[in-house]
Chain A
Amino acid sequence: MTDEQLLQDLLTGNEKAFRLLVNTYKNMVFNTVLGFIQDRDDAEDVTQNVFIRVFETVSSFKQQSKLSTWIYRISVNESLDFIRSKNRKKRWAVITSLFGSNNELLHQAGHNDHPGIITENKEKAAILFEAINKLPDKQKTAFLLQKIRDCSQQRIAEIMELNEGAVESLLTRAKANLKKMLINYYES
């Protein structure tokens, strides 16, 4: 089934088409989200959000890009929204804890335990994820799409709605910033 046929069926609310869409793109979405969030349970929740959003907004998809590009875009936005909301909750928990509320669970540092990383790299990958999480959103997105999803610069440019030059610049800055943060980490 082509993307156009799938979209036509989705617009009529066809359940089979939605099932096909989920089964076709679930691994792509899940792995993208997992790159941003690094927690299996949270990534699963966000993956569900992505597909619900796709189903609800399919009528607004103008087909100016590929369906997969549009789904990538939603995955990135949902992941960044989730991280922002989690950070807000953490800040709020810090404030409330000053007044004696019990928010110990929220204070626990996020464990960057990506299940796809080979065992020997786990420790270093956790340090790298800590640094990646401190990058600005655009640099983080470009870097993760390249590293985790193995996307080309052209593909990243399509997903982020930028030109290739801008993506190249984002990747260069992301790598330079990460290098700086890692040097500081290992020197301290």
Chain B
Amino acid sequence: MKIQKDIENLVGETLNSLDGIKPVEANSFLFGKIQNRMQMEHREQVARIKTLSRLSAALLLFIGLNVGSYYFLSGNSPKPKTVQKKATAAEAFASEYHLTGNQYNY
């Protein structure tokens, strides 16, 4: 019973331990610190934007070069000879067995 009462007293004292709390003075150089931080954040933001724009430009250049080279190479590249050969062989076979016309002599 006594222990219970002691605990209640302790709880009461603990709950009241914030009574009479004194206000603490903020740093007198707070404004200067805020200004420095804002300037630093501004500089960092500018640097981030610059880096981002450079990266975007590099990416665009990379994509442009890839697309350009694809069209350039696909337009100028010679047709594969093997296809031509196959076509020629097929034509030769067709002409040998008279398969080129659509008239038939039975």
Chain A: residues with CB nearer than 8 A to chain B? Answer: 18-19, 22-23, 26-27, 29-31, 34, 40, 44, 47-48, 51-52, 55, 114-118, 121, 124-125, 127-128, 147-148, 175, 178-179, 182-183, 186-187
Instruction: Report if A179-B11 is in contact (Cβ < 8 Å); known contacts: A52-B34, A124-B17, A125-B17.
Output: yes
Indicate with 1 or 0, residue by residue over B20-44, a CB within 8 angstroms of chain A CB atoms: 1111111100110110011001000
A48 to B20, CA, bound (A): 26
- In the assembled complex, the CB of B16 is this many whole angstroms from the nearest CB of chain A, namely 8
Question: What is the interface of chain A mostly: helix, strand, loop, or mixed?
Answer: helix
Is B91 in contact with chain A by the CB < 8 A criterion? no
- Inter-chain contacts of B37 with A (CB < 8 A): 48, 52
Cβ contact within 8 Å between A183 and B18: no
Cβ contact within 8 Å between B31 and A127: no
- In the assembled complex, the CB of B48 is this many whole angstroms from the nearest CB of chain A, namely 17
Instruction: Report if A117-B17 is in contact (Cβ < 8 Å); known contacts: A182-B11, A186-B7, A186-B10.
Output: yes
A29 to B26, CA, bound (A): 9
Give the residue name and chain of the A residue nearest to B27 (CB): A44
- Inter-chain contacts of B83 with A (CB < 8 A): none
**Number of B interface residues in the complex (CB < 8 A):** 24
- In the assembled complex, the CB of A38 is this many whole angstroms from the nearest CB of chain B, namely 11
* Contact partner, A55, options B10, B13, B27, B38, Cβ 8 Å: B38
- In the assembled complex, the CB of A35 is this many whole angstroms from the nearest CB of chain B, namely 8
Cβ contact within 8 Å between B7 and A187: yes
Give the residue name and chain of the A residue nearest to B22 (CB): A116
A156 to B27, CA, bound (A): 26
- Inter-chain contacts of A116 with B (CB < 8 A): 21-24
- Inter-chain contacts of B10 with A (CB < 8 A): 182, 186
What are 28 residue pairs bridging A and B, where the CB atoms are less than 8 Å apart in the complex? A18-B31, A22-B30, A22-B31, A26-B31, A27-B25, A30-B25, A31-B24, A40-B24, A44-B33, A47-B26, A48-B30, A48-B33, A48-B34, A52-B34, A114-B21, A116-B24, A117-B17, A117-B22, A118-B22, A121-B20, A124-B13, A124-B17, A125-B17, A127-B14, A128-B14, A147-B19, A148-B18, A186-B10
- In the assembled complex, the CB of B88 is this many whole angstroms from the nearest CB of chain A, namely 66
- Inter-chain contacts of A186 with B (CB < 8 A): 7, 10-11
- Inter-chain contacts of B22 with A (CB < 8 A): 116-118
Cβ contact within 8 Å between B26 and A117: no
- In the assembled complex, the CB of A110 is this many whole angstroms from the nearest CB of chain B, namely 17
A117 to B31, CA, bound (A): 26
